[in-house]
Each structure stands twice: as C-alpha cells, then as structure tokens.
Amino acid sequence: MAAHRCVSSALLVFVCVLSVFTVARSQETTPPGGHGAPATDGPQTVTETTGQTAGQPAAEERRWEATEVKEATPDESAAEEQEAPAADTAAPSAGPRPKDDFQEELVIRPLHSGDIYASFQFRTLWETDFTRENKVSHYRLFPKSLGQVISKFSVRELHISFTQGYWRTMQWGQPYQPSPPGAELWVWFQDSVTDVDETWKELTNVLSGIFCASLNFIDSTNTVQPSASFKPLGIVNVTDHRFLRYATLPREIVCTENLTPWKKLLPCGSKAGLAVLMKSEKLFHSSFHSQAVHIRPVSPTSWELRQTLNVVFDLHTSGQGKREWSLFKMFSRTLTEACPLASSSKIYVDVTDNPQGEQFELSPATPLLSQEVVLGDRRTFSVYDLTQQITFGTVRSLNLLIRWKSSEGDMLRPLLHGERYVAGYGLQTGEIHTLMYNYHPYRSFPVLLLDSVPWYLRLYIHTLTVTSKGKDNKPSYIHYQPSKDRLRPHLLEMLVQLPPNSVTEVTVQFERALLKWTEYTPDPNHGFYVGSSVISSLVPSIVAMDTNITQERPLFSSFFPCKEESSYFVRVYTEPLLVNLPTPDFSMPYNVICLTCTVVAVGYGSLYNLLTRSFQIEEPSPGLAKRLANIIRRMRGVPPL
C-alpha cells in the first residue's frame, strides 16, 4: 500500500548502505567452511569486510522495506508488543480508528536439513473493555466463542497449543513458537477470581468443547502452578502465581478435528486469504504440526488473539527425490487473494542463507526485502504483499517456488538445547536424566527448568543432582512441591546457571508406583507419559550490531554494539517420556479364572465344609469271619452274633 511505499522511500537512503553491508556479511558466512563464523565475529571483522566490499555494486536493484512487523517472537517482552498496535493504527490514515484489526502472515523458512518450515500467524485485535461494561455483545472480527470464555471465566491470558511431533532443535533451529508434543494449556486468571481451581476446571471443559480436544482430562493430577517459568505476556504484570494454571497432555493426538474449529476462529475462515492453504490432508502429511491460540491484553482496552500454525514439511518423503518446493506442492493450493478483512497480509521467505541465489532459486522474485532480528539472529526475508494486485502477476495467482541448487550450507547451531530420557531397567526404580546444552562459546546464562512429573513416579528428591562439566552445579533457586497420591503431581522448578559450551545434567531417581487396577489405562503396556520439561531462558544474542538502532541513537552511545537488550527469550521443550509401570497381566482371563477357582475351592470350600460338616454314626461293619459266622447261624436258625 501507499503507506509502505512512503515509509520505504523515506528510508531508502540508509537502506542502500545497509544492503551493501548485509550482503557482504552474508557472503562472508555462506561458504561451507565458514561454519560458526557469525558466532565469533567481532565488530571489527564486520567493519573490515564492509570496507573491502564497499566498492562493489551489490544488489543495488533490490528495494528494502523497513517493516513495522515485530512478530516472530511472541515471547518477547510485553512492552514491545504494546508499541506494535500503536504503530499499526497510526500509519494507515487519520480517519476514525477501526475498532478491530486483523493481520495475517506466512513465514517460510527453508531449513538446512532440506525441510521447509512454514509458520502462519493470524492476529486479531479487539477494542473492548471488560472492566467498564460487563456485558459485551458486539463481536466483529474477534470470535464470539473465545470472547465469551474470556469474560465468563475472567481470563487474563490464555495460551493453548496442540502439537503433533517433536521440534528437532538440532536440525531445524529454534521455532518461532515453541510448543511441547501433545496439548499444552496455561492460563492467567484475573485476580478477581475467588475459586481458581473450580474456574480452571470449568474452563478446561469449555475449551475441550471448543477445540474438540481431550482437554477435559486436565485435572488436579496434571495441573501445576509454576512459580517462575510462565510469566504473563500481556500488558498487566501480575506475578502472583496463585492465578496461574499450567497443564500438559503429552498423549494428546492432534488431527483434523482440532484444526477445523481452529480455522473457524479466523474472520475469513478458510475461505480467503492465507487460510485457504490449510488443507488438512497436506498439513498432517508433515514432519511436525503445531497449532496454537494465544489471547492476551495488549492495552487496557484491547485484546489480542494470535493464532499460529507451524508446519515442517519433509522434502525427502514428499518430493520424490526432486529438491523443489512450491506452494501448490505443499498445500495443493495457490494464493489468489488476501483476506478482505485483513489490514495486512504478507508472505515472508527467509533468504538469509541465499542472498545471491546460490543456494536456491525463488520465483516469482520479489523486489521487497525485510530484515529482522529473530531469536538472536539477523534474518533477511523476501516479502510478498498479498494486498497488492501486482503480487499475483498476470496469472492472478501466486505460487511460490523454491528450487534448490546445492545442498551445502551449515546451520547456526542453536545456543540452547534440551534432552531428556529415562535411565535404568526393571520395573521398580529408574532415573530421569535431563540434559541442557549451552552451545554459547563464552557466555554462561541462567535457565529456568520446570519439571512436572505425575504422582505415580515417586521422585526421590534427595537424589537430585545437577552437574555440569563434571562438577556439582548448585541451583540458585529451587521450588519443589511434592506430589500427593492421586491428587497432584510433582513440581520442580530450578534456576540453573549453564556454563559456556557445556552440558548440564539434572538427574533424579524415582520409584514406579503400583496403581489400583481401575487406574490403568486401557493400554497399560504402552506405558505412561511424563510431560516435557520446560527450559526457559534469556539467551545472550550473538548478533553484534543492530543497524536500525544505530540510526536513531546518538553517535556516542552506539559505538560498542554489546548492550543489555542483546539477549532474547527462548523456551525449549524436551521430549516427553514414556515410562512403563508394573502392569498386571490383564490379558489373561484364563489365569484369573484359575486363580478364582483356586480361591473358591480352597478358601470357600473349607469354610463351607467347616460350617456344614456333620458327625455321622458309622455302623461298624462286622468283620468277614463274623459275617460268615452270621450266615451259618442264620441257616442254623440261631440268632446272629
């Protein structure tokens, strides 16, 4: 739109300088041998290369767009989020502010493993004030079902995610929205709620209906109140964790029945805009699928509903050997229009590793470029604005096509990574090992580890050890809530400092409890799930300099690029665990019958015998001689003996 052009032309001058600088940098990082170069690059190196390549006429024809999009890290601080709507609404016109606003975007990132990561984000803003008028009856873009839930249950923040598969951090890097396998739900309630547990229970049941999921299985045995790991992301900064509830269902299987209600929450449904791409048969033919809904207040009078959907497509299984990718191939649809209700509708393609087109070829080419610092890494994106007709070209449809040329290239190793497994054998005891990797070459940083373990694994908390680099690592904060049988799970939260370039191992031993026979699931030999641990941290960024800020800031403050804000928030989920409990042999009714018969025969039989036994007179039978004598006597007519 005009606004974009306006802004971009205003920034054209410095952008030209920038593009030269960035291209130089990426040229420097792309050769295969240059793995890890950005991590170690100091600012001096950058300036040097800038000097070397300044004369080259590099990528002058590309236009750079300074976008106002700040997404991709929803977990970033709330303050940043407050600015976003203000900037949005201020830009388009000076007329009356629309009450609601809808934005949609799709980020496509070709991964080094040869997979494609597609991340949809839909944001609906809702101007309303619950505190003033209790009854809100007018809904425009915001889905009514969720609005009612917010007002009825006095929800302050609601985050729910459904995930099928495990995000492979080491192959794919950090996701834009992390989520654990299965279902995850965490809710902050208003401090006006008196009975939080009761409200939580009702809320889970209502959400279960809305999303067609088994959220009604959330009860006190899998709900915890984390004290530090989950902070509100919205505007209100309440930190009393009595109003927080967190639960995961690691066994939840996500399928189309969860996708359909999720799609219905969108203003355009799946009829127009980016949502037309969401064909379930394609979305669930992937390596990873995750959908989420986040609701939070972004200003005292406005709420934000953010719907995200992340998919990783495996090129290997679906590509039949050809390294080629297109919208049509992945989603079996092409795009023809933006959602008419959307104020912005964009597709971003991550071209950071491909500044000169040596890795892959992207068609149709786009003149728009954008640069963002995402998860501590500066990324370059090609932008397709769907609200402009020119994007669709003459064929009136947009079918993005990526054709790989080479498979080289190394991924920046994610700085934080977690793993978990059960050690030991036998059905009596075991040990949970949680490994946390800090790959940062020189910075140590603290992480918050949250572990929620079901009660039927009896943790021996005295065996808790935290070791890194072979030495004992004493957590600076431990919050442990022991479990109660059949009532609540173990909750363990720790603040651990991870030394640079190290593995920190947290181990705790447990004993497997014997369940009552009605408590076993229908498939007890499958095992019992333990939800993912959550590792939350502010990871130091390895981005040396933020170009935008150097422009705005006074010169004296911006020479050294290291600054306080250079760390970014990351949440990492480990694998869920599957633990076998001692299981009776349900499958052998024969044995049961044998046992029952034995009990009846031995136990009941002898008791019955004891109760009813009578003492009878035995007629003493005369001996053989006597009988013979009697016969003879009878013949003789003499009375018998």
Partner 1 sequence: MAGMELLSDQGYRLDGRKATELRKVQARMGVFAQADGSAYLEQGNTKALAVVYGPHEMRGSRSRALHDRAVINCQYSMATFSTAERKRRPHGDQKSTEMSLHLKQTFEAAVMTQLYPRSQIDIYVKILQSDGGNYSVCVNAATLAVIDAGIPMRDYVCACSVGFVDETPLADLCYAEESGGLSSLALALLPRSGQIALLQMDARLHQDHLEALIEAAMTACKGSSVPRLQDRVTADDNMGLLSDPNRRRALINLLTRLNSPICMICYMAGVAWFMGLAFEPFTLRTYMSENAMGSTMVEERFPAGERALATGREFAAHKKKTGGMPADWLVRTMQARGLEVFTQSFSRTLPFPDENKERYMVKGTNVYGILRAPRAPRTEALVLSARCSPGDDNNQAVGLLLGLAQYFRGQIYLAKDIIFLVNEHDLIGMQAWLEGYHHTNTTGMDWSPLQGRGGSIQAALSLELSHDLITSLDLVLEGLNGQLPNLDLANLFYAFCQKIGVLCTIQGKLQRNDWDSVSGYSHAVQTMMLMVMKQASGRPWGDHGLFLRYHIEAATIKGINSFRQYKTDATTVGRLLEGMYRKLNNLLERLHQSYFFYLMPSLSHFVSIGYYMPAFGLLAVILLLRALDLWVQLVTPPPRTEDGVIDIEQSNPGVLSVMTPLVISHLTGVALYLLPIRFQELAVEHFPVSETEAVVLTAIAVYTAGLALPHNTHRLLSGEGTEQGWKVLKLVAVLYLAVLLGCTALINFSLGFILALTLVPVAAFVTPHVPKVLSAFVLVILSPACTLLFSVFFFQELQEIPVSFQEGWVLYLSVISQGILDHCLYGSLVYPLIALLVYPCWLLFWNILFWK
**478 lies in the binding site for partner 1 (CB under 8 A):** no
Q: Are 105 and 347 in contact (CB under 8 A)?
A: yes
**Interacting residues with partner 1 between 47 and 106 (CB under 8 A):** none
Window of 206-214, 291-299, 374-382, 611-619 that interacts with partner 1 by CB under 8 A: 611-619
**537 lies in the binding site for partner 1 (CB under 8 A):** no
Window of 85-93, 335-343, 369-377, 580-588 that interacts with partner 1 by CB under 8 A: 580-588
Of 12, 87, 562, 578, the one binding partner 1 (CB under 8 A) is: 578
**Interacting residues with partner 1 between 495 and 524 (CB under 8 A):** 523-524
Name the residue nearer to partner 1 (CB basis): 609 or 621.
609
Per DSSP, which regions of 173-227 are E strands?
182-189, 223-224
Query: For 615, phi and psi rounded to 5 degrees?
Result: -100, 115
**616 lies in the binding site for partner 1 (CB under 8 A):** yes
**322 lies in the binding site for partner 1 (CB under 8 A):** no
Window of 281-289, 293-301, 394-402, 546-554 that interacts with partner 1 by CB under 8 A: 281-289
Quote helix, strand, coil % in the chain, to nearest 5: 30, 30, 40
For residues 71-89, one letter each, b for 16 or more C-beta atoms within 10 angstroms of the residue's C-beta and e for the rest, the string is bbbbbeebeebeebbeebb
DSSP string across 357-389: SSSEEEES--SEEEEEEETTEEEEEEEEETTSG
Q: How far is the CB of 320 from partner 1 (least distance, A)?
A: 8
Q: How far is the CB of 288 from partner 1 (least distance, A)?
A: 7
Query: For 116, phi and psi rounded to 5 degrees?
Result: -120, 130
**428 lies in the binding site for partner 1 (CB under 8 A):** no
Q: How many residues bind partner 1 (CB under 8 A)?
A: 51
**621 lies in the binding site for partner 1 (CB under 8 A):** no
**596 lies in the binding site for partner 1 (CB under 8 A):** no
Which amino acid is located at 322 in the chain?
Answer: K
**181 lies in the binding site for partner 1 (CB under 8 A):** yes
> Measured between alpha carbons, how far is 86 from 68 in angstroms, rounded to an integer?
11
**What is the largest distance, in Å, between two alpha-carbon atoms of the chain?**
152
**Interacting residues with partner 1 between 234 and 263 (CB under 8 A):** 250
Of 86, 87, 423, 641, the one binding partner 1 (CB under 8 A) is: 423
Q: How far is the CB of 619 from partner 1 (least distance, A)?
A: 9
| Sign of the Cα pseudo-torsion (26, 32, 34, 35, in order) | positive
Name the residue nearer to partner 1 (CB basis): 194 or 612.
612
Give 345's strand partners: 104
> Measured between alpha carbons, how far is 433 from 575 in angstroms, rounded to an integer?
11
Q: How far is the CB of 440 from partner 1 (least distance, A)?
A: 19
Q: How far is the CB of 576 from partner 1 (least distance, A)?
A: 6
Window of 39-47, 150-158, 260-268, 610-618 that interacts with partner 1 by CB under 8 A: 610-618
**413 lies in the binding site for partner 1 (CB under 8 A):** no
Angle (CA) 599-600-605 rounded to 5° is 115
Of 398, 422, 464, 513, the one binding partner 1 (CB under 8 A) is: 422
> Measured between alpha carbons, how far is 91 from 24 in angstroms, rounded to an integer?
32
Q: How far is the CB of 106 from partner 1 (least distance, A)?
A: 20
- Those residues with Cβ within 8 angstroms of residue 22's Cβ, 6 or more apart along the chain or in another chain: 355, 371, 378, 380
**287 lies in the binding site for partner 1 (CB under 8 A):** yes
Alpha helices, DSSP H only, in 233-353?
256-264, 280-283, 315-318, 327-331
CA-based nearest residue to 464, from 494, 506, 422: 506
In the complex, the residues that contact partner 1 under the rule CB under 8 A are 164-166, 168, 170-171, 181-182, 250, 284-289, 314, 316-318, 419, 421-427, 431, 433, 523-527, 529, 575-580, 583, 585, 587, 606, 609-610, 614-617
